[in-house]
């Protein structure tokens, strides 16, 4: 279990109504959560659920979805709202989230709302009902595994361990999504990854 998963479970079991995950890797966050929630039900709300041709505003549509999930979900359910930070600035939605957080706190084994958004500022009215966590930073071994995985997926020639280690060091500090994008960029140039690509990676800004 990762540190992120341990921290998430701690907040979940403590009954924190709103858990804010500061990350743009919403799909990875969802996968990590699904690995540890056992029998708890999880529902997701994102922009694909919005009806842009509807007369109702996006804020009202999101509010309706949140209220519907809360009314129909069993205890210990999890509602994951991803990439909707621009809507969550609405005073009406902030008030609704506060009311839902209070309702969750009053119920034994209440539901949790998980907000996944990068760089979102938790409104003052919600701060007492929420905790903020971030994904773990990737270590050298994690990055090495991603490189090996990428090479296997693209039938790259087996890279020398020295080049793998050098690439892992150069890619330190990036997310898995960013690393895969960078490797794709290097690979697209010649169909392989070489020392010359490593030097290009060090020279360019990504």
Query: For residue 55, what pLDDT is reported?
Result: 83
pTM here is 0.80
The token pair at 203 is 């020279």
Q: What is the pLDDT along the chain (206 residues), one digit of tens a residue?
A: 899 999 999 998 888 999 999 998 999 999 999 999 887 888 899 888 888 888 888 888 999 888 887 777 665 588 999 988 888 888 989 999 998 888 876 555 568 899 999 988 889 999 999 999 999 989 999 999 999 899 888 887 767 788 888 889 889 888 998 999 988 988 887 777 877 777 777 776 54
Residue 86 has phi, psi (to 5 degrees) of -65, -25
Query: For residue 105, what pLDDT is reported?
Result: 67
pLDDT tens, position by position, 79-127? 999 988 888 888 989 999 998 888 876 555 568 899 999 988 889 999 9
Contact in structure between 35 and 4 (CB atoms under 8 Å):
no
Closest CA to 78 of 118, 44, 28, 120: 44
The token pair at 65 is 């979805």
Query: For residue 75, what pLDDT is reported?
Result: 55
Query: For residue 23, what pLDDT is reported?
Result: 93
Q: How far is Cα 132 from Cα 22, in angstroms, rounded to an integer?
A: 7
Query: For residue 194, what pLDDT is reported?
Result: 75
106 CB burial (10 A radius; 0-12, 13-18, 19+): exposed
**DSSP per-residue letters across 117-171:** ETTPPPPGGGGGGEEEE-PPPP-HHHHHHHHHHHHHHTTPPPPPHHHHHHHHHHT
């Amino acid at each position: 279990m990762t540190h992120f998963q341990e921290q998430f479970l701690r907040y979940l079991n403590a009954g924190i109504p709103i858990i804010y995950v500061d990350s743009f890797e919403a799909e990875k966050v969802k996968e990590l959560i699904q690995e540890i929630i056992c029998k708890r039900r999880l529902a997701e709300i994102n922009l694909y659920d919005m009806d842009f041709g509807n007369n109702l505003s996006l804020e009202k549509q999101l509010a309706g979805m949140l209220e519907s999930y809360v009314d129909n979900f069993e205890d210990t359910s999890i509602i994951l709202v991803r990439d909707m930070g621009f809507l969550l600035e609405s005073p009406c939605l902030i008030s609704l989230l506060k009311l839902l957080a209070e309702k969750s706190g009053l119920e034994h084994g209440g539901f949790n709302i998980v907000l996944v958004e990068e760089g979102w500022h938790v409104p003052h009215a919600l701060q007492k009902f929420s905790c903020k966590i971030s994904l773990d930073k990737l270590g050298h071994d994690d990055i090495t595994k991603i490189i090996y995985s990428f090479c296997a997926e693209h039938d790259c020639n087996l890279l020398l361990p020295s080049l793998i280690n050098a690439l892992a060091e150069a890619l330190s500090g990036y997310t898995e999504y960013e690393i895969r994008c960078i490797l794709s960029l290097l690979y697209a140039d010649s169909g392989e990854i070489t020392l010359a690509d490593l030097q290009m990676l060090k020279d360019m800004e990504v």
